[in-house]
Structure 1
Protein backbone atom coordinates (compact mmCIF):
# COMPACT_ATOMS: atom_id res chain seq x y z
CA UNK A 1 0.00 0.00 0.00
CA UNK A 2 2.81 2.40 0.91
CA UNK A 3 4.65 1.57 -2.32
CA UNK A 4 1.55 2.40 -4.38
CA UNK A 5 1.16 5.73 -2.60
CA UNK A 6 4.82 6.66 -3.09
CA UNK A 7 4.64 5.68 -6.77
CA UNK A 8 1.48 7.76 -7.22
CA UNK A 9 3.11 10.80 -5.59
CA UNK A 10 6.23 10.51 -7.76
CA UNK A 11 4.20 10.20 -10.96
CA UNK A 12 2.08 13.19 -9.91
CA UNK A 13 5.20 15.23 -9.26
CA UNK A 14 6.65 14.43 -12.69
CA UNK A 15 3.39 15.26 -14.50
CA UNK A 16 2.97 18.52 -12.57
CA UNK A 17 6.53 19.64 -13.32
CA UNK A 18 6.00 18.91 -17.02
CA UNK A 19 2.92 21.15 -17.14
CA UNK A 20 4.77 23.85 -15.22
CA UNK A 21 7.64 23.86 -17.73
CA UNK A 22 5.23 24.17 -20.67
CA UNK A 23 3.41 27.13 -19.09
CA UNK A 24 6.69 28.87 -18.27
CA UNK A 25 7.90 28.52 -21.87
CA UNK A 26 4.95 30.58 -23.10
CA UNK A 27 5.58 33.35 -20.59
CA UNK A 28 9.24 33.64 -21.64
CA UNK A 29 8.08 34.48 -25.17
CA UNK A 30 5.71 37.18 -23.92
CA UNK A 31 8.20 38.57 -21.42
CA UNK A 32 10.90 39.06 -24.03
CA UNK A 33 8.58 40.51 -26.69
CA UNK A 34 6.91 42.87 -24.20
CA UNK A 35 10.28 44.01 -22.84
CA UNK A 36 11.17 45.22 -26.34
CA UNK A 37 7.70 46.69 -26.96
CA UNK A 38 7.70 48.64 -23.67
CA UNK A 39 11.37 49.65 -23.58
CA UNK A 40 10.63 53.31 -24.36
CA UNK A 41 7.28 53.61 -22.54
CA UNK A 42 6.85 56.36 -19.97
CA UNK A 43 4.99 53.97 -17.64
CA UNK A 44 6.96 50.81 -18.34
CA UNK A 45 5.37 48.80 -15.52
CA UNK A 46 1.86 49.48 -16.81
CA UNK A 47 2.94 48.79 -20.40
CA UNK A 48 4.45 45.44 -19.41
CA UNK A 49 1.30 44.46 -17.52
CA UNK A 50 -1.09 45.12 -20.40
CA UNK A 51 1.28 43.86 -23.06
CA UNK A 52 1.57 40.59 -21.12
CA UNK A 53 -2.22 40.25 -20.88
CA UNK A 54 -2.58 40.88 -24.62
CA UNK A 55 0.26 38.52 -25.51
CA UNK A 56 -1.25 35.71 -23.42
CA UNK A 57 -4.57 36.10 -25.24
CA UNK A 58 -3.23 36.67 -28.76
CA UNK A 59 0.08 34.77 -28.71
CA UNK A 60 1.80 37.60 -30.56
CA UNK A 61 3.22 41.09 -30.00
CA UNK A 62 3.86 43.60 -32.81
CA UNK A 63 7.49 44.43 -33.53
CA UNK A 64 9.08 47.69 -32.45
CA UNK A 65 8.21 50.01 -29.60
CA UNK A 66 5.18 51.68 -31.22
CA UNK A 67 2.73 51.03 -34.06
CA UNK A 68 2.96 47.99 -36.37
CA UNK A 69 -0.28 46.63 -34.83
CA UNK A 70 -1.37 45.31 -38.23
CA UNK A 71 1.15 42.50 -37.69
CA UNK A 72 -1.13 41.13 -34.97
CA UNK A 73 -4.85 41.81 -35.56
CA UNK A 74 -5.94 40.19 -32.28
CA UNK A 75 -3.54 42.45 -30.34
CA UNK A 76 -4.78 45.47 -32.31
CA UNK A 77 -8.48 44.71 -31.79
CA UNK A 78 -8.55 44.10 -28.01
CA UNK A 79 -10.41 46.96 -26.29
CA UNK A 80 -10.73 48.04 -22.67
CA UNK A 81 -14.09 48.68 -20.94
CA UNK A 82 -14.15 52.23 -22.35
CA UNK A 83 -13.73 51.02 -25.93
CA UNK A 84 -10.16 52.23 -26.28
CA UNK A 85 -7.21 50.01 -27.32
CA UNK A 86 -6.14 47.76 -24.45
CA UNK A 87 -2.75 46.78 -25.82
CA UNK A 88 0.23 49.14 -25.90
Structure 2
Protein backbone atom coordinates (compact mmCIF):
# COMPACT_ATOMS: atom_id res chain seq x y z
CA UNK A 1 0.00 0.00 0.00
CA UNK A 2 1.24 3.46 -0.85
CA UNK A 3 2.38 5.38 2.20
CA UNK A 4 -0.04 8.27 1.53
CA UNK A 5 -2.95 5.79 1.50
CA UNK A 6 -2.18 4.36 4.94
CA UNK A 7 -4.20 7.17 6.49
CA UNK A 8 -6.99 8.89 4.57
CA UNK A 9 -9.14 11.80 5.67
CA UNK A 10 -12.81 12.50 5.09
CA UNK A 11 -14.49 15.78 5.88
CA UNK A 12 -17.31 15.67 8.40
CA UNK A 13 -19.72 16.42 5.55
CA UNK A 14 -18.43 13.48 3.51
CA UNK A 15 -18.65 11.12 6.47
CA UNK A 16 -22.16 12.31 7.34
CA UNK A 17 -23.33 11.93 3.74
CA UNK A 18 -22.06 8.35 3.67
CA UNK A 19 -23.53 7.56 7.09
CA UNK A 20 -26.93 8.97 6.12
CA UNK A 21 -27.11 6.68 3.09
CA UNK A 22 -25.97 3.64 5.07
CA UNK A 23 -28.37 4.42 7.93
CA UNK A 24 -31.31 4.67 5.52
CA UNK A 25 -30.48 1.34 3.88
CA UNK A 26 -29.59 -0.64 7.02
CA UNK A 27 -32.52 0.60 9.11
CA UNK A 28 -34.99 0.14 6.28
CA UNK A 29 -33.87 -3.44 5.60
CA UNK A 30 -33.90 -4.22 9.33
CA UNK A 31 -37.43 -2.87 9.70
CA UNK A 32 -38.56 -4.78 6.63
CA UNK A 33 -37.08 -7.98 8.06
CA UNK A 34 -38.89 -7.43 11.35
CA UNK A 35 -42.16 -6.57 9.61
CA UNK A 36 -42.10 -9.66 7.40
CA UNK A 37 -40.82 -12.14 10.02
CA UNK A 38 -44.23 -13.87 10.29
CA UNK A 39 -45.30 -13.29 6.70
CA UNK A 40 -44.69 -15.33 3.56
CA UNK A 41 -41.10 -15.28 2.32
CA UNK A 42 -42.31 -14.32 -1.17
CA UNK A 43 -43.85 -11.11 0.25
CA UNK A 44 -40.56 -10.25 1.98
CA UNK A 45 -38.58 -10.95 -1.17
CA UNK A 46 -40.91 -8.81 -3.27
CA UNK A 47 -40.80 -5.96 -0.74
CA UNK A 48 -37.01 -5.97 -0.49
CA UNK A 49 -36.62 -6.11 -4.27
CA UNK A 50 -39.07 -3.22 -4.65
CA UNK A 51 -37.22 -1.27 -1.95
CA UNK A 52 -33.85 -1.79 -3.65
CA UNK A 53 -35.27 -0.69 -7.00
CA UNK A 54 -37.60 2.13 -5.91
CA UNK A 55 -35.20 3.70 -3.41
CA UNK A 56 -32.20 3.44 -5.76
CA UNK A 57 -30.19 1.44 -3.22
CA UNK A 58 -27.51 0.58 -5.77
CA UNK A 59 -27.03 4.28 -6.56
CA UNK A 60 -26.93 5.16 -2.87
CA UNK A 61 -24.25 2.54 -2.24
CA UNK A 62 -22.30 3.77 -5.26
CA UNK A 63 -22.39 7.26 -3.72
CA UNK A 64 -20.93 5.87 -0.48
CA UNK A 65 -18.23 4.09 -2.48
CA UNK A 66 -17.38 7.36 -4.30
CA UNK A 67 -17.10 9.21 -0.99
CA UNK A 68 -14.81 6.56 0.48
CA UNK A 69 -12.70 6.26 -2.67
CA UNK A 70 -12.15 10.00 -3.21
CA UNK A 71 -9.36 10.53 -0.66
CA UNK A 72 -7.22 7.67 -1.99
CA UNK A 73 -4.23 8.16 -4.28
CA UNK A 74 -5.17 5.94 -7.23
CA UNK A 75 -1.69 5.78 -8.72
CA UNK A 76 -1.10 2.40 -10.33
CA UNK A 77 1.57 0.13 -8.90
CA UNK A 78 3.90 -2.26 -10.71
CA UNK A 79 0.97 -4.68 -11.01
CA UNK A 80 -1.10 -2.06 -12.91
CA UNK A 81 -3.55 -1.82 -10.00
CA UNK A 82 -4.18 0.93 -7.48
CA UNK A 83 -4.34 0.16 -3.75
CA UNK A 84 -8.13 -0.15 -3.75
CA UNK A 85 -8.19 -2.55 -6.72
CA UNK A 86 -5.45 -4.62 -5.12
CA UNK A 87 -7.27 -4.85 -1.79
CA UNK A 88 -10.63 -5.69 -3.38
CA UNK A 89 -9.41 -8.18 -5.97
CA UNK A 90 -10.54 -11.08 -3.77
CA UNK A 91 -14.13 -9.82 -3.55
CA UNK A 92 -16.37 -12.21 -5.44
CA UNK A 93 -19.59 -10.44 -6.50
CA UNK A 94 -22.79 -12.36 -7.17
CA UNK A 95 -23.05 -14.13 -10.50
CA UNK A 96 -25.95 -16.07 -11.94
CA UNK A 97 -25.67 -19.83 -11.55
> What TM-score results when the alignment is normalised by the length of structure 1?
0.35
Structure with higher RCO (Cα < 8 A, 6+ apart) = 2
Greater share of helix: 1
Larger Rg: 1
> What TM-score results when the alignment is normalised by the length of structure 2?
0.33
